[in-house]
Amino acid sequence: QVQLVESGGGLVQAGDSLRLSCAASGRTFVIAAMAWFRQAPGKEKDLVATIRASASNTYYSDSVRGRFTISRDNAKNTVYLQMNSLKPEDTAVYYCAAARLWTLTVHQYNYWGQGTQVTVSS
């Protein structure tokens, strides 16, 4: 099994920055991709960004491209999401997830963190 623990959420104002962290433990050698998803109240869980575990491939949703950056520190088994120029519509619970293959599909992510709330006030 793989365990994921997120941290770094909070309440910020529009235009501010925030960095989320996700620490992985357990059988981390099975991970091929790590991602951040988010879910706003009453909406589905959407992919925000993903990064391949052993290469530099990344993917960003249109809504965050140019504002958010996903990165990883393999030595620490940690993935980060740097969020700049935050908007009220970025308000959601953010989830870290890991998959055993490179994928953009939510149901192919096998492991999930507990989620961290990000609230952006206008």
Average pLDDT over residues 51-60: 89
For 101-109, the CB contacts below 8 A with 24+ separation are: 101/32, 101/33, 102/32, 102/33, 102/50, 102/52, 102/57, 103/33, 103/50, 104/47, 104/50, 104/59, 106/37, 106/45, 106/47, 109/35, 109/37
Q: How confident is the model at residue 36 (pLDDT cuts 50, 70, 90)?
A: very high
Q: How confident is the model at residue 104 (pLDDT cuts 50, 70, 90)?
A: very high
Look at residue 56 in the predicted model and tell me its pLDDT. 80
Look at residue 55 in the predicted model and tell me its pLDDT. 76
Look at residue 23 in the predicted model and tell me its pLDDT. 97
Residue 61, number of CB atoms within 10 A of its CB? 16
